[in-house]
Amino acid sequence: MNYQEILDEIGHEFKAVQFEGKVASYIPELANVSPDKFGMHICCLKGGNYSLGNARESFSIQSISKVLSLTLAHLYEGDKIWKRVDVEPSGDPFNSLVQLEFENGIPRNPLINAGALVISDILVSHLSNPKQDYLDFVRKLAGDATVDFNLKVAASEKEWGFRNSALINLMKSFGNIQNDVEEVLDFYFHKCSIEMSCATLARTFLLFANHGQLLGRGEAVIPKSQTKRINAIMQTCGFYDEAGEFSFRVGLPGKSGVGGGIVAVHPGAYSVAVWSPKLNPKGNSSQGMAALEALTTKSGLSIF
The full set of domain ranges for the chain reads 3-60+195-299, 63-192
Task: Measure the CA angle with vertex 180, ends 96 and 238; round to 5°.
Answer: 35
Residue type, 295: L
User: Torsions phi, psi of 219, nearest 5?
Assistant: -115, 125
Q: Is 66 labeled as catalytic in the residue annotation?
A: yes
Domain 3-60+195-299: which CATH class?
A: alpha beta
Q: Which one is catalytic: 3, 134, 188, 270?
A: 188
Q: Is 134 labeled as catalytic in the residue annotation?
A: no
Is 263 exposed, middle or buried (CB count within 10 Å of its CB: 0-12, 13-18, 19+)?
A: buried
Q: How far apart are CA 22 and CA 149, in angstroms?
A: 24
- 208 CB neighbour count, 10 Å cutoff: 28
Q: Do domains 3-60+195-299 and 63-192 have the same CATH topology?
A: yes
Q: Where are the beta strands (DSSP E) in 49-203?
A: 49-53, 59-60, 195-196
Q: Is 3 labeled as catalytic in the residue annotation?
A: no
Q: Is 258 labeled as catalytic in the residue annotation?
A: yes
Show pLDDT as tens, one digit a residue, over the chain (304 residues): 899 999 999 999 999 999 999 999 889 999 999 999 999 999 999 989 999 999 999 999 999 999 999 999 999 999 999 999 999 998 777 777 888 888 999 999 999 999 999 999 999 999 999 999 999 999 999 999 999 999 999 999 999 999 999 999 999 999 999 999 999 999 999 999 999 999 999 999 999 999 999 988 778 999 999 999 999 999 999 998 899 999 999 999 999 999 999 999 999 999 999 999 999 999 999 999 999 999 999 999 999 9
Q: Is 128 labeled as catalytic in the residue annotation?
A: no
Instruction: Name the CATH topology of 63-192.
Output: Beta-lactamase (3.40.710)
Q: Which one is catalytic: 3, 134, 240, 270?
A: 240
Q: Which one is catalytic: 50, 60, 66, 193?
A: 66
Torsional class of 212: left (φ above 0), alpha (ψ -120 to 50), beta (otherwise): left
